[in-house]
Structure 1
Amino acid sequence: MLIDRNGLPVADVWTYLGTDDSATPAQPRSKDVLPLEAWLAANAQGVAPAGLRVQGHDDASHIAPLLPQLDLIVIEFPKTRDGRGFTLAKLLRDKWHFEGAIRAAGPLLPDQLAMLWACGFDSLLSPLDVPTARWHEAAQAAAGRASRPRTLLERLSA
């Protein structure tokens, strides 16, 4: 289920295709999301879609030349405690100035929602075992923390 910045479920217009060749059509549509290797193969044929799925450990400098062709990047988190996806999103936003959508996917927790937004993610693909109400509660809590004044200690340690 797709969760927006407010922690609410929204309709998803993208189609996520797998890593095996049988799941990748010969002619991808513009709203398809392909894994990096499949996307590169489609791009070599001149039919790459506007969506790319990468892993948190992928090198941002290898993804950067592809950014002008992309509307959506889905960053896969293999584990809850693997933070490399946060770093990748931050680099794509700050260093490479990617203005398209960045979406998180994988076994994420509502406690990580504020950090996802702070690193530049726009949405996330919620794990099926997390109730949507928990995402909304996490988004409200994050908005509440962002709206209150920060103490000197919080500003200095940021």
Structure 2
Amino acid sequence: MLIDRNGLPAEDVWTYLGADTPIPVDAANESCQQSVLPLDAWLAANERGAAPAGIRVQGHDDPERIAALLPQLELVVIEFPKTRDGRGFTLAKFLRDKWNFQGAIRAAGPLLPDQLAMLWACGFDSLLSSSEVPTARWREAALAAQARAGRPRTLLARLTA
């Protein structure tokens, strides 16, 4: 299920393909362009001139390797292998701040609503959540994050507000 920045379910127009899924050579095909491939499969498709506009990477993938591909991408899906693996946060921050990626960055994996504020702070636009986490929990987390964002962060700022 796709969760947007407001913690609400959203329609997902992207198709997530496996590494072994054949891709049509016609790169102009809209269904091909709205597809997401794992990094190595995307690189192979790119050599054939049929790379889609979406890529799926792991938090441990080399950011420099991904940075060279950004001009061709509209969506980067960063997979988190487990909830306590923070490398995906760092990768998203690099994509936004160091390489000024303007496309969408989506988180995927066993994430928790408690991590939502950090996802948004690092530059993620949306996340793919399992159906095990109730939608209401994502909405509550988004509302709490929005409330915290409006408050001064330091003691001095709070005292002088």
TM-score (norm 2): 0.91
Tell me the SS of whatever aligns to 1:41: helix
Q: Does 1:111 align with 2:111?
A: no
Q: Secondary structure at the match of 1:90?
A: helix
From 132, 139, 143, the equivalent of 2:142 is: 139
2:47 and 2:104 mapped to 1: Cα distance?
23
With over 3 angstroms needed to count, the CA separation of the structure-2 counterparts of 1:107 and 1:151, relative to structure 1, is same
Is 1:59 paired with 2:43? no
Instruction: Please give the root-mean-square deviation of Cα atoms over the aligned residues, in Å.
Output: 1.5
What displacement does 1:151 show? 2.6
State the shift of 1:144 in Å.
Answer: 0.4
* In 2: Cα distance, 1:24 partner to 1:131 partner: 34
Consecutive unaligned residues of structure 2, counting only runs of 5 or more, are none
Is the contact made by 2:36 and 2:52 (CA closer than 8 Å) also made in structure 1? yes
1:29-44 equivalence runs, <5 A: 29-44=32-47
Question: What is the rounded CA distance, in whole Å, between the counterparts of 1:86 and 1:52 in structure 2?
Answer: 17
CA contact (8 A) 2:34 2:54 kept: yes
The runs of 5 or more residues in structure 1 that have no matched partner are none
Matches of residues 1-158 of structure 1 in structure 2 within 5 Å? 1-19=1-19, 21=20, 23-27=21-25, 29-152=32-155
CA contact 1:30–1:49 (8 Å) conserved in 2:
yes
> Helix, strand or coil for the counterpart of 2:33?
coil
Range that drifts further, 142-151 or 95-104: 142-151
Q: CA deviation at 1:153?
A: 6.9
Alpha-carbon distance, 1:148 to partner: 1.3
